[in-house]
Structure 1
Amino acid sequence: MAPLHRISRRLLLALPAGLALAAGAEAQSQPGPLRVVVGFPAGTTPDTLARLYGASLSTTLGQPVVVDNRVGGGGILAAELVARAAPDGSTLFVAGNGPISINKHLTDRLPFDPDRDFRPVGFLGVSMQVLVVRPGLATDLAGFITQAKTQDINYGSVGAGSASHLFMAGLSQQAGLKAQHVPYRGAPQALVEIAAGRLDAMVAAIGSALPLIREGKVIPLAVTGPARDPLLPVVPSFEQAGITGFALPVWNGLFAPRATPDAVVERIAAALAEAQRDETVRRGVAAAGFSMEARDPASITRFIAAESARWGEIARATGVRLTD
C-alpha cells in the first residue's frame, strides 16, 4: 500500500470518517500525516478528544492528523503500538489512567513500560466520574450501598483495568458490596445497558453519562471529586457522602515514544497549547464533560506518579489482576 502522504486528496476524503481528520491542501504537498492512536472505539471520550484537538493540530502543524482506533485490552494494544513506533513525532498516543497509571499495578506482563516508554506532551482534558445506576435500583448512595450489600449487583466498565473498573472494585471492597464486574468496549455500550435495565451500575466520566442523566434514563448517585461538580450541582461527591479515598479524576493526555527528540515534542506541545485557545476546541472539551489543564511535561509526570500511587493501593486492596 502506498504511503498515506502519497494518496490523492480524493482518495483521502473517501476514507472512513474515523480516519482522516483534515486534508487542507493536496495531501502529497503536505508533510506526512500525524497518527494519533486511541485505544477505544469511535464515539468514546478519548476518541472525541482526539478528533477535537486533531482538527486544530492539523491546521497549526500544517499536516493531516489521522485518528487510529486500536481497540483492545483497555488501551494496552494501542500503548504497545506507540511504544514500538519510530520516535520521530509521527505517532502519538491518547492515553488515560488505565494504560499509564493503573495497569502496571495489575500485571507483571505488560508489553510496554508506561514509565519508561512514553513521554508526556500535554493534557487534553480532566474530568470527574459519576456513579450511575439503573432506574429503580436506588436514589442515593447510601441506598445503593445498603442494597448492594444484601443482593448481587453487576457493574460495567470501559474495560478490565480501566479507572471505571478499579474504582468500583475499590468501592466494593471498602464498602463490602456483592458486585460482579462486566467489562465493555467503551462507556456508551455500558450506559445503554444500564438505561435498558440489563446492567445495574457504572462509574463513568461525567460527560459520557450526562445525556442519559438529563433524560432520566440513568440515575446519578455521587461524583468522584472532593466536592460537587458544576455539571451535576445537585449530586454529592463520595467525600460528602462519607466515602473517603476516592477523589480520583479521569484524564486523557497526549504522549510520544520516549526517545522522541525534545524539539519535536516542543513543537507538538506548542500546537497543543494553541488548540487549547481555540474556542471550538474549548466548547467541545466542555461539552464532553472535561476541563482543560495546561500542565508542562514535568507537572504531568508528578501528577501521574501521585495518582498512580493511589491506584496501586486500590489494586493491592482488591487483588484485581489482568488476565495474561
Structure 2
Amino acid sequence: MVGQGFGRRWLLGASAAALAGAGGARAQSGTPLRLVVGFPAGTTPDTLARLYGAAMTGPLGQPVVVDNRVGAGGLLAAEQVARGPADGNTLFVGGNGPISINRHLTDRLPFDPDRDFRAVAFLGVSQQVLVVRPGLATDLAGFLAHARGNEVNYGSVGAGSGGHLLMAGLVQQTGIKGQHVPYRGAPQALVEIASGRLDCMAAALGSALPLIREGKVIALAVTGPQRDPLIPEVPSFEQAGVPGFALPVWNGLFAPRATPDAAVARIAAAAEAAQRDETVRRGVEAAGFSVQALDPAGIGRFIAAESARWGEIARATGVRLAD
C-alpha cells in the first residue's frame, strides 16, 4: 500500500557531494530565491514554504520569498515555473495534485511533471483526514450509512486535488451519494463544515487539526496505514473497514528540469539545513507533517508509486478536469 513507509522520521543529512556543491554554487546575495505556491496564504503549502524560506536564507546567502499564484488547484503556479527560467532562482512548491494526480485527469495538462520538473527536496509528508460537520456522524460506519441514503456535499481545495479524488474514490468504492464542492483553499471549506453549511471533506491533517481539537469538526478516519499520533483516537480507513486509501499528503520543492545540478544541490543542502532548525521542526510538526528522508531519486520513486495508485482511483471514478 502506498504511504505505509512514511512515519515521522527526520532527514539525517544531505550527501557529501550535495554539501560540497552548495559551497561552489552560491547565488549572488541580492537575487532572491522565489518559492511559487499555488494556494493562498495560510494554507499548509504556504505555511511550509514560509517556514523553510526563512530558515534557508542564511545557508543560501540570499533572500527567499514566497509568491502565491493561486488558481486551478496549483496548476497555474506549476505552469509558470515549468515555463520560467531554469536558473536556480525559482522553484515550485508542488504536491499531490499538480505532480501526481492531474496527469491522470486530463490529456491537456500544460506541463509534464516528469519532463518539466526535477525534485529538489520534500518539505513534509502527512495524512489526510475525513472530517464531517457536528451532528452528521461520530464514526466512519455511521457516516457511510447516512451517505448511502442521503447525498452529502464534500469539499476540496480544487477539482483534481487529492481530497477531491479521495472522496470520489470513497463514493465509488462504498456506494455512498456525494456531490463535489470545490473551494480555493482548505480553511474556507473547513469553516463551512464547522458552520454546518458543508457536510464533509478529506483535508490535510494539519489544516483540520485545530478545528478537530476544538470539536468544531468531527474526524472519522485518517489515510495512513495506522492511527496518527496527533489524533490517536481516530482510526485509519483500513482499521475502520475501508481499505485502499493509504494515500499521504505531501509538499516538496521542484525546479525546472534544465536547472543545473550545482544549483539543485545548493538548494537541497539549504533545505536539509533548515530541517535541523528547531523552529522549522516545531512548525512542521504543528502543521501535522513530518520530514521524509529521501534524496531526489527517492522522491522520484515515491511519486511514481503514489501516482500509480491515484491513477487507479481516477480510472475507477472517471473524474476528469475540464478541458
The TM-score normalised by the length of structure 2 is 0.91
Residue of structure 2 in register with 1:22 after alignment: none
Letter in 2 for 1:110: L
Residue of structure 2 in register with 1:148 after alignment: 147
Contact 1:134 1:199 in 2 (8 A): yes
Aligned residue for 2:113, secondary structure, equals coil
Residue of structure 2 in register with 1:164 after alignment: 163
After TM superposition, give the deviation of residue 30 of structure 1 in Å: 2.8
After TM superposition, give the deviation of residue 125 of structure 1 in Å: 0.1
Aligned residue for 2:88, secondary structure, equals coil
Aligned residue for 2:73, secondary structure, equals helix
Residue of structure 2 in register with 1:227 after alignment: 226
Contact 1:130 1:222 in 2 (8 A): yes
Please list the CA deviations of residues 254-300 of structure 1 after superposition, one character each: whole Å capped at 9, or x if unmatched. 00000001011001000010000000000000000000112101100
Residue of structure 2 in register with 1:46 after alignment: 45
Letter in 1 for 2:74: G
Residue of structure 2 in register with 1:66 after alignment: 65
Residue of structure 1 in register with 2:238 after alignment: 239
Deviating 4+ runs (over 2 angstroms): none
Letter in 2 for 1:77: L
Please list the CA deviations of residues 187-243 of structure 1 after superposition, one character each: whole Å capped at 9, or x if unmatched. 000000000000000111111101101111000000100100000100010010111
Letter in 1 for 2:113: P
Residue of structure 2 in register with 1:116 after alignment: 115
Residue of structure 2 in register with 1:79 after alignment: 78
CA distance in 2, matches of 1:253, 1:185: 20
Contact 1:93 1:254 in 2 (8 A): yes
CA distance in 1, matches of 2:209, 2:300: 30
Which deviates more from structure 2 when the two are superposed, residues 56-65 or residues 307-316? 56-65
Aligned residue for 1:115, secondary structure, equals helix
Residue of structure 2 in register with 1:320 after alignment: 319
Q: Do residues 187 (structure 1) and 186 (structure 2) align?
A: yes
Query: Structure 1, unaligned stretches of length 5 or more?
Result: 1-28
CA distance in 1, matches of 2:88, 2:29: 15
Letter in 2 for 1:289: G
After TM superposition, give the deviation of residue 177 of structure 1 in Å: 1.0
CA distance in 2, matches of 1:230, 1:30: 41
Residue of structure 1 in register with 2:296 after alignment: 297
Contact 1:98 1:162 in 2 (8 A): yes
CA distance in 2, matches of 1:283, 1:220: 23
Aligned residue for 2:176, secondary structure, equals coil
The percent identity for this pair of structures is 80
Aligned residue for 2:135, secondary structure, equals coil
CA distance in 2, matches of 1:236, 1:245: 14
CA distance in 1, matches of 2:30, 2:110: 31
After TM superposition, give the deviation of residue 60 of structure 1 in Å: 1.1
Contact 1:122 1:294 in 2 (8 A): no
CA distance in 1, matches of 2:252, 2:92: 8
* RMSD, matched Cα: 0.7
Letter in 2 for 1:221: L
Letter in 2 for 1:212: L
Contact 1:125 1:290 in 2 (8 A): yes
Letter in 2 for 1:215: E
Aligned length: 296
Residue of structure 2 in register with 1:265 after alignment: 264
CA distance in 2, matches of 1:115, 1:261: 16
Aligned residue for 2:30, secondary structure, equals coil
Residue of structure 1 in register with 2:249 after alignment: 250
Letter in 1 for 2:302: F
Contact 1:273 1:294 in 2 (8 A): no
